[in-house]
Structure 1
């Protein structure tokens, strides 16, 4: 049984953003400060990645740990009520994420997943990891490897 009234639960759920979330904005800010130029919400790409770097042919998904089921993360908890509903919802989300990543990779794109907790807990390390992957990608695309 839900502890909140139906109206309050509906209000809470309506506040959950699908784009321009705090972690997305933080990642974009780090990329911009690092000199990377990008596009938002790749509408023409599978999964509509949060950040698209055309020069690197790279798509970044900034995943929320709860919704996308980041394993062994404290933010990846399962609600105590309606287990079957949540299990199905989470399973479909994880399956859809995997399909979108395969589709992007199959069309020559480098899909990167950055987790909400990584950005919150250690933004500098997260940016360094992404920056390194982008530099490797550029070298590979230019045939320097």
Structure 2
């Protein structure tokens, strides 16, 4: 992005004010998880990666949940490409997608289960998928016990 710059200070300021945590989809999913009796932490720093956070974390189970916005994270169904300053935006949004993939690989390499959902997905189906994954992650191994 060396020769691409934001189109104006006003646009840059407006975009920097966009909500990045406690979005409506995040809150809806968290309410469903909480009402199902699941306890979690929110906006937890990614271990070993500064300036990156996980939206919902089930620490002991090592399950990380991300609820990605369609515009900022490149949803294949809903992402749009701004026409003004298109080169700068393409580079910015591509960098976001690359950072998401890097974060996922980093966490998986440390033994985490990473779940990513789009903001347009049903909070009920997201919460159900998260609950199933968390349940599976906390089940003791089902390997047969050895009897000498």
TM-score range (shorter-chain normalised) is 0.7 to 0.9
Shift of 1:55: 2.9
Runs of 4+ deviating beyond 4 Å: none
Return the TM-score normalized by structure 1.
0.82
Secondary structure at the residue paired with 1:55?
A: coil
The residue that corresponds to 2:15 in the other structure is: 13
Return the TM-score normalized by structure 2.
0.80
Higher helix share: 1
**Per-residue displacement from partner, 1:24-80 (whole Å, max 9, x unpaired)?**
111211111111111111125243101111132111111101100111x23x11111
Tell whether 2:71 aligns with 1:66.
yes
Shift of 1:144: 2.2
Higher relative contact order (CA 8 A, sep 6+): 2
Correspondence list, 1:1-145, <5 A: 7=10, 9-10=11-12, 12-45=14-47, 46=49, 47-71=52-76, 73-74=77-78, 76-118=79-121, 122-139=122-139, 142-144=140-142
Secondary structure at the residue paired with 1:52?
A: strand
Comparing 10-19 with 45-54, greater Cα deviation is found at: 10-19
Q: Distance in 2 between matches of 1:13 and 1:83?
A: 15
Shift of 1:13: 2.1
Q: Distance in 2 between matches of 1:123 and 1:39?
A: 18
Unaligned runs of 5+ in 1: none
Q: Distance in 2 between matches of 1:90 and 1:44?
A: 20
RMSD of aligned alpha carbons: 1.9
Shift of 1:14: 4.1
Q: Distance in 2 between matches of 1:56 and 1:43?
A: 16
Higher Rg of the two aligned structures: 2
